[in-house]
Amino acid sequence: MLNIRKSQDRGTASFGWLRSQHTFSFGHYYDPAHMNVGPLRVINEDRVAAGRGFDPHSHKNMEIISYVLDGALEHKDSMGNGSVLRYGDVQRMSAGTGVTHSEYNGSKTEPVHFLQIWVIPGEVGGAPGYEEKHFDADSKKGRLRLIASNDGRDGSVSLRQDAAIYATILDGAERVDHALQPGRQAYVQVARGKVTVNGVALAAGDAVHVAEEAAVALQDASDAEVLLFDLPA
């Protein structure tokens, strides 16, 4: 079963300094047909103007992943972490019992473009946590690079959920396949470019929920960067 989510059908928030497109219900955007896929709760595609950003705010009981596509994302939190994320950087913040953080565009002249992803943890509570790793473009070209997992395997950031997130960069005749084990489903989000997923042509911002299928096949790409989520059904 393939359930396609086109880019133009996503929720939108625009505040001048911020343009955000919501794959799932978020903030003022509510759609009962698009609340989550398994523990995958949020995929927001955010574009933040130079020198602007999200003032300090709090979260609890959520695994929050930032995937930077362009520009510089400056992060600070109540755990004492502070960094500037750029393309290839993946940040995981476990909110646990509660954490406060801010996110600003780290440039005074250029916008920042990133995906913010929320995954519902397997258990509530626990101490807040933070992790950040870099995955260069070569590590994702023509292959599925694991960037987040429940056990931090293969150099990925760790998640408090039985979920795995892969990133890939594909072009031309390159193809990657991902087997889905019984009781698993996938969600594929196209970050840029074009790609065909199990025979369905998708473009930047599009996504597809893959359920009750044996595998996910990504091929016939044009300058594509794609995230694949392997999730419990």
Domain identity same for 115 and 22: yes
Question: Does residue 3 sit within a domain?
Answer: no
Residue 9 contacts by C-beta under 8 Å, 6 or more apart in sequence?
none
Distance, CA of 66 to CA of 118 (rounded, Å): 9
Q: Read off the DSSP letter of residue 97.
A: T
Q: What is the pLDDT of residue 22?
A: 98
Long-range contacts of 121-125 (CB under 8 A, 24+ apart): 121/39, 121/61, 121/62, 121/63, 121/94, 121/159, 121/160, 121/161, 122/39, 122/150, 122/160, 122/161, 122/162, 123/160, 124/61, 125/61, 125/96, 125/97
Complete edge-to-edge strand list for the sheet that includes strand 40-48: 11-14, 18-22, 40-48, 112-119, 63-70, 89-94, 129-134
Q: What is the pLDDT of residue 158?
A: 98
Domain identity same for 111 and 77: yes
Q: What is the pLDDT of residue 19?
A: 96
Q: What is the pLDDT of residue 203?
A: 98
Distance, CA of 182 to CA of 64 (rounded, Å): 26
Domain identity same for 14 and 74: yes
Distance, CA of 115 to CA of 29 (rounded, Å): 17
Domain identity same for 141 and 104: no
Spell out the per-residue pLDDT of the chain, length 233, in tens: 999 999 999 999 999 999 999 999 999 999 999 999 999 999 999 999 999 999 999 999 999 999 999 999 999 999 999 999 999 999 999 999 999 999 999 999 999 999 999 999 999 999 999 999 999 999 999 999 999 999 999 999 999 999 999 999 999 999 999 999 999 999 999 999 999 999 999 999 999 999 999 999 999 999 999 999 999 99
Q: What is the pLDDT of residue 167?
A: 98
Domain identity same for 104 and 186: no
Domain identity same for 120 and 141: no
Q: What is the pLDDT of residue 1?
A: 95
